[in-house]
Structures are given as structure tokens and as C-alpha cells.
Structure 1
């Protein structure tokens, strides 16, 4: 599968690790390390998918997700250490399409991303 993925993650080690896995899977991947930069890149790149941490400096992931959802239909997968059921519900209610808790298996992240993109692409191909 191909497409552009925007990874918005303040932990640079995790962001780089996720980027490598997406690139190995045939995606182009860009990174932002705070919410404001993530919003700017999302607007500039119009990515096919956003991987979004919840706990971000300068604009938290929930608010960024809400903004992105108002502006586009880009698929969003939350990737976060916040694991309480109420936090998962908040993330999904803010507009995320999926929610993955850290620590995570990078191959599962890729599989979930590909599943979300298959659904989105199938929906748009029927229009």
C-alpha cells in the first residue's frame, strides 16, 4: 500500500521508529513533534493518514484531532500511552478512527493503518 502518513508524536525516538516501519511498508512519512506543527503540516501535506499522540506540547492531540476532523476526512489513528477507558472514548469521540495504546507492535500499527485506508479508499471509489 502507498500514501503519505503524518506522524505527530513528541517523542522523537518513537516518531522515528514509526516512520521507519511506514516507509518499509511503502508509505511516504513525515513527522511533527508538537500539535501546532502537526496542524500546519496536515494542512500543507493533505496526508492520507495521521498517526496522532494525545499528549503533545503546544496543542494537545484531542484538540488537534477535533480541528482536523472539522477541516477534512483524513483518517486518524491515536497512538498514545493514555489507556483508561474514558481517555479512549474521548479520543474516539474527538474524531479518531482507531486508538492504539503504547507500548505497541509496529506491525499492528501498519496493519490497522492499512485497514483504515482500505475502508476509506473503498468508500471513495464507490462515489
Structure 2
């Protein structure tokens, strides 16, 4: 069974992503939610999700810091981290690449494309 962590400080965005990914629950996927970076990192340490959908601008700890901690400090290279953020500048994308982000999507994004990307990452038959 695959596990996905949705980490975003905006409740509306968390709910929107959760609803988009709901069809995956029938495929055995578990959805976890975090509303700040610190909580996201704690869930990553404890649950070791297969995929993390991670906002950058969050309280307590930025998404970049969460990714850096998970990938480079804790050595969790196998956790796939997909950044979902409004920060679309070249500098931000380069920083994400440097710390080990696997994929980077800027907001606003197409929810159907997000679902398709998640399905492909996890290798789920739909």
C-alpha cells in the first residue's frame, strides 16, 4: 500500500488536493495531511510516505527545509518529493533541484494533471 503526504498550510488547498486524490484510496493509497513544515517532517520520519506533495511557504519550517532535512540529513532518498508552490522563479527551482526535490510544479496547476502525475509516480493502474 502506498502512502501520500499532502503538506500545505492553506486548508482549502489541502482539501482540494485530498479530493483530487480520493480515487486512489480505492486503490489502497493512504492519504496523510500536514498543515505546517514541522508537522510534515514529523510525519515523514514516522510514516515514511512514498510520495510527499509539499508546499514551500509554510509556517514552522519551509518546504525546502523539510525536503533538505528528509533527503540530506535523514538520508531518506527514496521518498519522492513533489513541490507544489507559487514560487516559480529560476532561483527557487534551482534550489529545489540542489536539495533533492524530485519534481516541481508551480501554482496554479491543473488538478487532473496532478492526479495523472501521482498515478505515474506510484505506478498505479487506473
| TM-score interval, smaller chain | 0.7 to 0.9
How far apart in 2 are the matches of 1:81 and 1:98? 14
How far apart in 2 are the matches of 1:95 and 1:82? 17
Secondary structure at 2:53's aligned position in 1? strand
Alignment of 1:94-109 (within 5 A): 94-109=99-114
Give the TM-score of the pair, scaled to structure 1: 0.85
Secondary structure at 1:25's aligned position in 2? helix
How far apart in 2 are the matches of 1:22 and 1:67? 26
How far apart in 2 are the matches of 1:97 and 1:110? 16
Match of 2:10 in 1: 11
Give the TM-score of the pair, scaled to structure 2: 0.86
Instruction: Work out whether residues 75 and 117 of structure 1, in 8 Å CA contact, stay in contact via their aligned partners in 2.
Output: no
Which structure 2 segments of 5+ residues have no match? none
Which structure 1 segments of 5+ residues have no match? 119-127
Which 4+ stretches in 1 moved above 3 angstroms?
none
The answer on 1:56 being equivalent to 2:58 is yes
Which range is displaced more, 79-88 or 19-28? 19-28
Number of residues paired by the alignment? 117
Q: Provide the aligned C-alpha RMSD in A.
A: 1.3
How far apart in 2 are the matches of 1:110 and 1:62? 22
Per-residue CA deviation, residues 34-62 of structure 1 (Å, 9 max, x unaligned), is 11000111111111100000101101111
